[in-house]
Amino acid sequence: MKITLSLFFAFALTLSFHASAQDMEKMNKNELRDYALVLVGKIDSLNTQINSLQETGKQLAVSLATSEEKNAVNLAEIQKLSILIVKTQKELERVQTEKEAVITTLTKDVILLKDSISSLQQSFLSAASGTPNDPNDFLNSYYKQPFPLENNSFSMVLSKVIFGTSNTSNSDYYNQENEIQSLPEILPAEAFTYWGVKPKVKITDGTEFNDFMVAQPLSYYNARLPKIQIYKNKLLTVANPGGNEESFLFTANVVDSESLNNQRNVIQFNLVSEEANTDEDYDKPKNLTWRIFAIENEVYLALNFAQLSRINSELQEVGSIEAYSEYYERVVMASEFDSDYRQTTTGKGVYLSRKEDNFMPESLYVDPSDLIFLFKLK
Query: 27 and 68 share a domain?
Result: yes
Contact between residue 166 and residue 322 where contact means Cβ atoms under 8 Å apart: no
* Spatial CB neighbours of 293, under 8 Å, sequence gap ≥ 6: 261, 264, 266, 299, 300, 302, 374
Pick from 165, 159, 144: which is nearest to 265 by CA? 144
- Percentage above 90 pLDDT, the chain: 48
Q: How many C-beta atoms surround the C-beta of residue 75 within 10 A?
A: 10
* Spatial CB neighbours of 177, under 8 Å, sequence gap ≥ 6: 171
Tell me the per-residue pLDDT of 89-132, one tens digit each, with 9 for 90 and over: 888 888 888 888 888 888 777 777 766 665 555 554 444 444 55
pLDDT at 127: 47
Last residue of a domain, one of 109, 129, 149: 129
- The amino acid present at 50, given as its one-letter code, is I
Q: What share of the chain is helix, strand, coil (3-state, %, to 5)?
A: 40, 30, 30
Could you tell me the residue range of the domain that residue 304 belongs to? 138-377
The mean per-residue pLDDT over the stretch 70-98 comes to 84
Query: 344 and 229 share a domain?
Result: yes
Last residue of a domain, one of 88, 109, 129: 129
In b/e form, how buried is each residue of 197-208, taking b as 16+ CB within 10 angstroms?
beeebebeeeee
Query: 369 and 237 share a domain?
Result: yes
Q: What is the mean pLDDT of the chain?
A: 84
Contact between residue 203 and residue 334 where contact means Cβ atoms under 8 Å apart: yes
Last residue of a domain, one of 107, 129, 151: 129
Tell me the per-residue pLDDT of 339-359, one tens digit each, with 9 for 90 and over: 888 999 999 999 999 999 999
Domains held by the chain: number = 2
H-run or E-run covering 161: strand 152-163
2-24 vs 29-129: helix axis angle to the nearest 10? Answer: 150
pLDDT at 122: 54
| Rg from Cα positions in the chain | 54
Q: How many whole angstroms separate alpha carbon 173 and alpha carbon 14? A: 146
The mean per-residue pLDDT over the stretch 42-60 comes to 83
pLDDT at 332: 94
Query: 182 and 99 share a domain?
Result: no
